[in-house]
A and B are shown apart, each in its own frame.
Chain A
Amino acid sequence: MKASILDVPRGFWSLLVGMRITLTQFFKPVITVPYPHKTLPIPARYRGPIELTTDPATGKALCIACKLCERACPSDCILVDGVKLEGEKKKSVTEFKFDFTKCSLCGACVEVCPCDAIRFSKNYNLASTSREDYLFDLVARLPAEKKQP
């Protein structure tokens, strides 16, 4: 009897405590980001679909078409081809096909690459209604080569 009567003021007090907590939250700043207008910085280790890196001096792809990534890929989603150009020590890449529909972003290709020619991109805005849009031609995506001085 006494306990159940005491329950009423105690319960009411607990309601007030709850209301105080929500009110303090009410006056704190907003913590969400209005996405399309503002974006958060992408973490350094974010894994987007892979892309080729370029030599900052020449603007050429660093890839030497050694095909180690092609062999390392567990899902066979990379296809590389290259030619030996005159006057250059190593091969240059002519074709780098990448099927993102099969890629599991495991990173084996990035790890195995001997000249750091592949890296994960920060591209997270991927949406399409057709499968073909995810068959990337990474050579075609390279920025235009810089003119030799």
Chain B
Amino acid sequence: MSFLTAEPVRLLLALVCIMAFVGLNAAYLVLAERKGAGRFQRRPGPNEAGYGGWLQPVADVAKLLSKQLIVPPGTDTILFRLAPLMVISPAMMCLAVIPFSQTLVARNINVGLLMVFSFGSINVMAIMLSGWASRNKYAIISAARVVSQNVAYEIPMLLVVITLLMVTGTMNLSEIVRQQAGWFWHWNLFKVWVNPLMPVTFVIFFICMLAETNRAPFDMAEAESELVAGAFTEYAGMGFGVFFMAEYANIVLGCSLGTVLFLGGWQSPFGLWSGVVWFLLKLYALIFTVIWVRWTFPRTQFYNLLNLSWKILIPISLFTLLLSSAMIKLF
């Protein structure tokens, strides 16, 4: 079994595991989303396929796979085919640096956080390309919206992360989690003695994460009721399916990042029995919150969305940045 520990083999295994994790999560988070939507609206959700509807993802995938891949005339064929790949691969790549537990991390690199954000911003470009390549007015409107939305929300997101980086002093995600060992008040979320506005930074991070993943109430990219399906209008079959998978992969990624940065990653809340279970618990609690938010709030108007970012989130995150640098300098 010694070949299993060789670095290339280990990396390949990790890659397969990540792809399986993303695929499984995408399939079953769609079900969780629909079930959750049902519960929030006091109805059972999908319950016909299999016991309680748990075979629904299988049926969905079978349906999507059996459909014809249509490339509409007049589209930029190469970009049109490339966009789904470009939207899913960064999300999968970023998961490679997420530490699921002390040992369970595909690639523990020193600039993990930087890598997540640099690859994360490819997502915007991929959606923009898909909108552009579709040669469809709805898709182009959606692409334009995505760009302005993501540019607006990338700024407070990065400001908040810089605030956190000044506290942690490292970009290594495993190291960031290791610093949060102990009871739950050692988590970055509750480190109010370092920066009294730490919970606020988490809220800003969460809001920006919702906006970056184009989730309701910031789902300007899809906006079913206004733009048909936004940038994904012209995609059929698995092309559309991959965009759907990417959305959920990005949610998983964003929530894992939130867990690692603010909620102590694999650390248990009372200093004992730390492990991957705690990571998954926190991850799925955050994902539940994402679903909960989606089925609570209606979609924002576009100018309100930009107002929220430029007039509220950016000033507050700048203030937290200044405050924490002052606190670090003084104490």
Q: Is the CB of A34 within 8 A of B292?
A: no
Q: What residues of chain B lie closer than 8 Å to A32, measured between beta carbons?
A: 42-44
Q: Which of B236-244, B270-278, B293-301, B323-331 contacts A (4 or more CB under 8 A)?
A: B293-301
Task: Encode B202-217 as 1/0 by CB contact (under 8 A) with A.
Answer: 0100000000000000
Cα distance A12–B38 in the bound complex, in angstroms: 25
Does A18 sit at the interface, judged by CB under 8 A?
yes
Label chain A's interface by main secondary structure: helix
Instruction: Choose one: A12, A26, A29; the contact of B40 (CB below 8 Å).
Output: A26
Nearest-neighbor residue (CB-CB) of A11 within chain B: B312
Q: What residues of chain A lie closer than 8 Å to B296, measured between beta carbons?
A: 18-19, 21-22
Q: What residues of chain A lie closer than 8 Å to B38, measured between beta carbons?
A: 30
Q: What residues of chain A lie closer than 8 Å to B293, measured between beta carbons?
A: 19
Does A1 sit at the interface, judged by CB under 8 A?
no
* Smallest CB separation, A29 vs chain B (Å): 8
Q: Is the CB of A8 within 8 A of B42?
A: no
Cα distance A32–B47 in the bound complex, in angstroms: 13
* Smallest CB separation, A38 vs chain B (Å): 11
Cα distance A8–B293 in the bound complex, in angstroms: 18
Does A31 sit at the interface, judged by CB under 8 A?
yes
Does B39 sit at the interface, judged by CB under 8 A?
yes
Cα distance A107–B72 in the bound complex, in angstroms: 56
Q: What residues of chain A lie closer than 8 Å to B42, measured between beta carbons?
A: 25, 28-32
* Smallest CB separation, A24 vs chain B (Å): 10
Cα distance A19–B47 in the bound complex, in angstroms: 25
Considering only residues 256-301 of chain B, those with a C-beta below 8 Å from chain A are 292-293, 295-297
* Smallest CB separation, B53 vs chain A (Å): 11
Question: Could you list which residues of chain A lie within 8 angstroms of chain B, going by C-beta atoms?
Answer: 8, 12, 15, 18-19, 21-23, 25-26, 28-32, 34
Question: Could you list which residues of chain B lie within 8 angstroms of chain A, going by C-beta atoms?
Answer: 36, 38-44, 47, 203, 292-293, 295-297, 312, 316
